[in-house]
Structures are given as structure tokens and as C-alpha cells.
């Protein structure tokens, strides 16, 4: 079985995100970047499946600027066998990402695609579902447990009411939730080995995909700062403030 894992380069989750002064987007200059945490979980799950003898090859795929090679190298250090970068400077929105991943999947012909349920930068939670629809494959979203039973893949999903288990036939698309696993710590020898693993670089035009954005971001701004609380000397004053200032009653 071949597994394709999608990994995204995002602002590190420890960094406080700030909007640009001109409101055109999020400030990324001189900001630490890293692999999307949910994608890191996806890579870990793929490696565990390989270690259990369920998979023979893991291909890590990333889309974006040339610096995304660092994200792929991290996946290779975790255990992926080779990488594919679809290099572009264009703003990639979920539908374009899904189309590019489909094109890569058509070339690689994997049996299973695993990716994070969402990216921590846009929180769209759309790519996995769109990819499954474009491929016409079964999908298991928000996965917290994977288990192969006979010829089916049982996926335990996190839903509003608790947990739901579905049986999928391969090929399938899985989106990883937070409780699927805990990613391993990458050791220095593996980081060095990852530098020698193959990494192919493609362009969207090589895959025949138009990545022109369909949405336009008009403005990005930080939420307003909360005002300090005040003490009131009576219930009458409290009610007056709630009615005339807070407008909640």
C-alpha cells in the first residue's frame, strides 16, 4: 500500500499572529514557520502504518513557495520515503489545493491519502472533503483512530455527539484529528538522512491545474482589544450600563 501525506507550511503555533499594518494579510516576515500540527499527526500515522507492515511507501506532498521544502524534509525525517513539492508563489485556496493534490494522486496512484483535518492559519477545514469528492473516493474526516479489519479500514471519527466508527474501502481520504496520535520527536540522525532522500519539484502548469484565487481578501484586522471592567455601586447602575452601554438587555 502506498500512502500520500499532504503537509502545509504555516506560522508556528507558538507565534502570536499579527495582521499587517496595511490590512492585506498576516505578517510572515521574519516569523518562525513550521509544519501544520494536524499534518504532523497525519505523517506520524502514516509512519506507524508503515512500521506495522501495512504500507510500503510514504510520499510527502507540499504546495507553495520554495521554502516548503523544509516542511517536506521534516516529514522525511519523521519517516516518509520521498517528497513532492508543487512550487508556486500564488495564494493557494482550498479548492486549488484539492485540485493539485488530485493531480499528484493521479500520478502517484496511492491507496490512502492522509492530511490534517484543517490548517491552523486559515482554519478552513475544506481540503480533505474537496479532495475526496474530486477523486470519488471514500472519506473519513476528523479521524481519532484507524484500524484495518479484513479488507476494510475502520475509522473512528470525532463528532458532536461523541464518536462514530465507519468502515471504508480503499482507496480513501483520511483527515487527522488531534487525538489520532502524538507525533514523535525527530532525532538529528534522521534529519541528516532526510537531506539525502529524493524530493521532486513540480509546477502547477506541469499538473495542468489553474490555481488562480477565486476569493479576494478585502481586509485582515486583529480583534478589538477588550476594555477594562468597572465596578458599579448599585444594581440600578448595573442594569443601566447593560442596557445603554453593552446593549445586552
CATH number at residue 142: 3.40.50.620
| Residue 73 located in a structural domain | yes
The percent of residues above 90 in pLDDT, for the chain, comes to 76
The percent of residues above 70 in pLDDT, for the chain, comes to 100
| Residue 242 located in a structural domain | no
Q: What is the pLDDT of residues 186-242, one digit of tens each?
A: 999 999 999 999 999 999 999 999 999 988 888 988 888 888 888 889 999 999 989
Q: Report the domain count for the chain.
A: 1
Q: What is the pLDDT of residues 43-99, one digit of tens each?
A: 999 999 999 999 999 999 999 999 999 999 999 999 999 999 999 999 999 999 999
| Residue 204 located in a structural domain | yes
Task: Please choose, from the candidates 8, 62, 12, 63, the residue with its C-alpha nearest in 3D space to the C-alpha of residue 33.
Answer: 12
Please determine, for residue 150, whether its predicted confidence score (pLDDT) is greater than 90: no
- Supply the mean pLDDT for the chain: 93
| Residue 239 located in a structural domain | no
| Residue 234 located in a structural domain | no
Q: In angstroms, rounded to a whole number, what is the distance separating the alpha carbons of residues 89 and 206?
A: 15
| Residue 39 located in a structural domain | yes
| Residue 246 located in a structural domain | no
The greatest distance separating any two alpha carbons of the chain, rounded to the nearest whole angstrom, comes to 73
Output the pLDDT for position 51. 95
Output the pLDDT for position 245. 86
CB neighbourhood size of 187 (10 A)? 10
Output the pLDDT for position 227. 81
Output the pLDDT for position 207. 95
Output the pLDDT for position 40. 97
Output the pLDDT for position 23. 86
Output the pLDDT for position 25. 85
Q: In angstroms, rounded to a whole number, what is the distance separating the alpha carbons of residues 22 and 16?
A: 18
Q: What is the DSSP string of the chain?
A: -EEEEE--EEE-TTS---B-TTSSSB--TT--EEE-HHHHHHHHHHHHHHHTTS-SEEEEEEEESTTHHHHHHHHHHHT-SEEEEEE--SPPPHHHHHHHHHHHHHHH--SEEEEES--TTT----HHHHHHHHHT-EEEEEEEEEEEETTEEEEEEEETTEEEEEEEPSSEEEEE-GGG--PPPPPHHHHHHHTTS-EEEE-HHHHT-----SS------PPPPPPPP---SSHHHHHHHHHHTS---
| Residue 58 located in a structural domain | yes
What's the domain range around 54?
A: 2-224
Name the pTM for this structure. Answer: 0.87
Amino acid at each position: 500500500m502506498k500512502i500520500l501525506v499532504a503537509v502545509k507550511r504555516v506560522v508556528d503555533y507558538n507565534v502570536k499572529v499579527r495582521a499587517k499594518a496595511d490590512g492585506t494579510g498576516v505578517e510572515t516576515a521574519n516569523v518562525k514557520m513550521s509544519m501544520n500540527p494536524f499534518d504532523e499527526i497525519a505523517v506520524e500515522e502514516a509512519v506507524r502504518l508503515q512500521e506495522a507492515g501495512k504500507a510500503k511507501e510514504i510520499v510527502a506532498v507540499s504546495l507553495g513557495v520554495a521554502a516548503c521544502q523544509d516542511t517536506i524534509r521534516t516529514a522525511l525525517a519523521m519517516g516518509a520515503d520521498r517528497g513532492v513539492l508543487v512550487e508556486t508563489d500564488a495564494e493557494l485556496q482550498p479548492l486549488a489545493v484539492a485540485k493539485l493534490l488530485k493531480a499528484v494522486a493521479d500520478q502517484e496512484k496511492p491507496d490512502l491519502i492522509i492530511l490534517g483535518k484543517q490548517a491552523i492559519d486559515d482554519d478552513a477545514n475544506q481540503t480533505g472533503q474537496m479532495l475526496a469528492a474530486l477523486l470519488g473516493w471514500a472519506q473519513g474526516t476528523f479521524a481519532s483512530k484507524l484500524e484495518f479489519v479484513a479488507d476494510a479500514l475502520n475509522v473512528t471519527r470525532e463528532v458532536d455527539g461523541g464518536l462514530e466508527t465507519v468502515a471504508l474501502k480503499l482507496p480513501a481520504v483520511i483527515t487527522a484529528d488531534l487525538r489520532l496520535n502524538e507525533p514523535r520527536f525527530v532525532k538529528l540522525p534522521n534529519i541528516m538522512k532526510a537531506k539525502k532522500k529524493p524530493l521532486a519539484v513540480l509546477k502547477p502548469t506541469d499538473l495542468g491545474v489553474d490555481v488562480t484565487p477565486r476569493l479576494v481578501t478585502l481586509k485582515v484586522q486583529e480583534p478589538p482589544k477588550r476594555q477594562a471592567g468597572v465596578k458599579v455601586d448599585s444594581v440600578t447602575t448595573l442594569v443601566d450600563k447593560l442596557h445603554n452601554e453593552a446593549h445586552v438587555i
